[in-house]
Structure 1
Amino acid sequence: MNDQKQLNRWRLILGSQSKDQISFGGEGFRAMESGIGCEDLEEALDFLYSREYGEDVRREGGTGASRLTTAGWITKIRRLFPKETVEVLERHALERYEMQELLTDKEVLEKLEPNQELLKTILQLKHLMKGPVLDTARRIVRKVAEEIAEKLNREIRRSLLGSLDRNTPSHVKSMRNLDIRKTIRRNLSHYDPEEKRLVLEQVYFSSRTRKYNQWRVVIAVDESGSMLDSVIHSAVMAGIFAWLPMLDTRLVIFDTQVVDLSAHLEDPVETLMSIQLGGGTYIAGALQYCEGLIENPNRTMVILVSDLCEGGSIGGLLGVSRDIIESGAKLICLTALDRDANPVYDRRTAQRLADLGAHVGAMTPEMLGDFMGKIMQ
Structure 2
Amino acid sequence: MAEKIMDDAVNRHGLTEVVTNAETLAKATPNTGLLKAILSTKHLMNPEVLAMARTIVDKVVRDLMRSLARPITNPFTGRRDPRRRSRQHVAANFDARGTVRANLRHIDPATRRLVIREPLFNTRVRLQQDRWQVVVAVDQSGSMVNSVIHAAVTAAIFTGISAMRTHLIAFDTSVVDLTGQAADPVEVLMRVQLGGGTAINVAMEYAASLLNNPRRSIVVMISDFYEGGHDGPLIATTARLVQDGVRVLCLGALDADGRSMHNQVTAQSLAAVGAHVAVMTPTSSRPGSRR
For Structure 1 versus Structure 2, the TM-score category normalised by the shorter chain is: 0.7 to 0.9
Q: What does residue 77 of structure 1 align with?
A: 2
What is the CA deviation profile of residues 108-163 of structure 1, one whole-angstrom value per residue up to 9, with x for unaligned ones? 2121111111111111111111222111111111111111111111221123323x
- Is 1:349 the counterpart of 2:266? The answer is yes
- Is 1:250 the counterpart of 2:167? The answer is yes
2:7 to 87, 90, 104: 87
- Indicate conservation of the 8 Å contact 2:131/2:163, yes or no: yes
Closer/same/farther in 2, CA of residues 172 and 228 from structure 1, 3 Å limit: same
Specify the SS of the correspondent of 2:210: coil
Please identify, of 358-367 and 265-274, the stretch whose mean Cα deviation from structure 2 is larger.
Answer: 358-367
Question: What CA distance in whole angstroms lies between the structure 1 residues aligned with 2:80 and 2:68?
Answer: 24
What is the CA deviation profile of residues 267-313 of structure 1, one whole-angstrom value per residue up to 9, with x for unaligned ones? 11110011111111111111000000011111100000111111122
After superposition, the CA RMSD in angstroms is 2.8
- Indicate conservation of the 8 Å contact 2:20/2:41, yes or no: no
2:72 to 156, 160, 165: 156
Flag the structure with higher strand content: 2
Closer/same/farther in 2, CA of residues 206 and 245 from structure 1, 3 Å limit: closer
Gaps of at least 5 residues in structure 2 are 86-92, 97-121, 287-291
Question: What CA distance in whole angstroms lies between the structure 2 residues aligned with 1:116 and 1:291?
Answer: 32
Gaps of at least 5 residues in structure 1 are 1-75, 175-204, 369-377
Closer/same/farther in 2, CA of residues 172 and 278 from structure 1, 3 Å limit: same
Closer/same/farther in 2, CA of residues 90 and 367 from structure 1, 3 Å limit: closer
Question: What CA distance in whole angstroms lies between the structure 1 residues aligned with 2:284 and 2:157?
Answer: 13
- The structure having more radius of gyration, on CA atoms, is 1
2:178 to 247, 251, 261: 261
Q: What does residue 142 of structure 2 align with?
A: 225
- Indicate conservation of the 8 Å contact 1:156/1:365, yes or no: no
1:289 to 170, 186, 206: 206
Q: What does residue 113 of structure 1 align with?
A: 29
Closer/same/farther in 2, CA of residues 92 and 342 from structure 1, 3 Å limit: closer
Closer/same/farther in 2, CA of residues 89 and 314 from structure 1, 3 Å limit: closer
What is the CA deviation profile of residues 148-194 of structure 1, one whole-angstrom value per residue up to 9, with x for unaligned ones? 111111221123323x58996797669xxxxxxxxxxxxxxxxxxxx
Flag the structure with higher helix content: 1
- Is 1:123 the counterpart of 2:39? The answer is yes
Closer/same/farther in 2, CA of residues 89 and 366 from structure 1, 3 Å limit: closer
Closer/same/farther in 2, CA of residues 159 and 231 from structure 1, 3 Å limit: same
Counterpart AA for 2:242 = I
How much has 1:213 moved relative to structure 2?
1.8
The count of corresponding residues between Structure 1 and Structure 2 is 254
Counterpart AA for 2:11 = R
- Indicate conservation of the 8 Å contact 1:330/1:358, yes or no: yes
What is the CA deviation profile of residues 235-278 of structure 1, one whole-angstrom value per residue up to 9, with x for unaligned ones? 11101100111110000011111100000012111100111111
Question: What CA distance in whole angstroms lies between the structure 2 residues aligned with 1:320 and 1:108?
Answer: 47
Question: What CA distance in whole angstroms lies between the structure 2 residues aligned with 1:326 and 1:206?
Answer: 39
- Indicate conservation of the 8 Å contact 1:156/1:366, yes or no: no
- Is 1:329 the counterpart of 2:246? The answer is yes
Question: What CA distance in whole angstroms lies between the structure 2 residues aligned with 1:113 and 1:334?
Answer: 30
Question: What CA distance in whole angstroms lies between the structure 2 residues aligned with 1:117 and 1:130?
Answer: 21
Q: What does residue 17 of structure 1 align with?
A: none
1:274 to 191, 205, 209: 191
Question: What CA distance in whole angstroms lies between the structure 1 residues aligned with 2:72 and 2:156?
Answer: 11
- Indicate conservation of the 8 Å contact 1:152/1:365, yes or no: no
